[in-house]
Amino acid sequence: MFKKVRGWFVSSPPRALTIGFIVIILIGTVLLKLPVSLREGQSIDWVDALFTSASATCVTGLVVLDTGTSFSTFGHWVILALVQIGGLGFMTMGTLFAIFLRRKVSLKERLILQESLNQNNLEGIIKLVLRVIYYALTIELAGSLLFTLRFMLDMPPGKAIYFGIFHGVSIFNNAGFDLFGDYRSMANYISDPFVNLLSIVLIILGGLGFVVLADLVEYRRNRRLSLHSKVAIYTTLLLFIGGAVVILLFEYTNQKTFGPLNMADKIMASLLHSMTPRSAGISTIDVASLRQATQFLLVILMFIGVSPGSTGGGIKTTTFAVLIVAVLAVFRGRKDVVLLRHRIEPDRVYKAITVTLFSFIIVVVGTMLLSVTESHSFMVVLFEATSAFATVGLSAGLTPELTDIGKFIVIVLMFMGRLGPFTLFYAVGPRKGKTLYRHAEGKIIIG
């Protein structure tokens, strides 16, 4: 009986990946429920512990309890460990331990790694895992060191090192957790160019995806980038710069956000808040005070998200790019979908449409359910649902006030967003083989 159950779990890589994330979340829940994880005088119920563990494992950053003031040092390390495991993937971390123990990585484990890293084949998968770990740890170390040096100007060295490591790892993994307290995120550094620019760089590096990072590292030797890397980089830059310009225009005169700032600080805040909704979740202004037009723009940016194989969520930049060129191809009356002088295969276009539609349905259903359970405006509910599904972590003020039912809805949204539509779909049922027949062609009127 046990063998049958175990066989059902590991027979499908998506299913094994799904079960693995659930196990990690449950372990984190138990650890965060321990008294040692909380500051003296603080308490946490099982629902809030589950929510915090899910948010950390899914590298989201939405919190029902303030991370800086509610949890102890042990609790902070538990959260950071969950962020690291969730950001790199538990199979990636497991493979690292297997290599250290000189244990051979099985074919089934390689298949799960392939699913976890969004790769199309198994060739070089272990080599890619080692690169992922090397790049991640190197960038996290550099980011933590730079944050530490900056924080030493404001706090004792020991605390600065502690804060530097936590925020370096959290921001690179696009998690959005912070230790500054009072749900203010990094508002104290709104006028600090060093903290803002370092945060933007870490978010971009964490969001480009490890395949793109590998391409960039090898560019000096190969002098070329893959189509995937080009699309990911160009789309990221376009959304980053375009989003910053629109945010600056929308919030320029808003006295609750950009109004009191000088021009340099307005530009800096625009750049950060154009990048952070892509999956990072940190902020230097009160998101709830943004104009509704700006909030809706952030919803769009959150829904698009970052690039495949990264630490973030959303439908991904490459999916968005394929959708745009597919629409342009229809408008121009062309049969082929062409992107950067490369023809995109029809199955890739269908997959992009499927991912987007499935994700849209999840966000819509989540928004509808939260509208029933929570007494907030529609924009706030939509913002929170999208932030949860895209594993962003930005909040318009709803998450700390969620009902228990609302917390469970957000947990499901975060979980579905972290795994992705296709992983969830194939986890429920195995992929069927090709059909041996074709139906008669039918014609319907579109548009």
Please write down the HEC assignment for all residues of 382-446: HHHHHHHHCCCCCCCCCHHHCCHHHHHHHHHHHHHHHHCHHHHHHHHCCCCCCCCCCCCCCCCCC
Helix (H) or strand (E) holding 344: strand 342-344
Matching residue, tokens 């138990």: 30
Q: What pLDDT, on a 0 to 100 scale, did the predictor assign at position 161?
A: 94
Structure token digits, residue 172:
């690179």
Report H helices in 34-105.
46-57, 67-70, 73-88, 90-100
Q: Which helix (H) or strand (E) holds 215?
A: helix 210-222
- Separation CA 179–CA 190 (nearest Å): 16
Q: Could you report the per-residue pLDDT of 181-239, keeping only the tens digit for each?
A: 777 788 889 999 999 999 999 999 888 887 888 888 887 787 788 888 899 999 999 99
Residue 5: which pLDDT band, with cuts at 50, 70 and 90? very low
Q: Are 52 and 63 in contact (CB under 8 A)?
A: yes
The answer to whether 166 touches 76, Cβ cutoff 8 Å, is yes
pLDDT tier at 160, thresholds 50, 70, 90? very high
Backbone angles phi and psi of 413, in degrees to 5: -60, -45
Q: Indicate the pLDDT class of residue 74, thresholds 50, 70 and 90.
A: very high
At 136, the pLDDT band (50, 70, 90 cuts) reads confident
Chain centroid to Cα 31, Å, comes to: 23
Nearest CA to 314 out of 229, 421, 419, 417 is that of 417
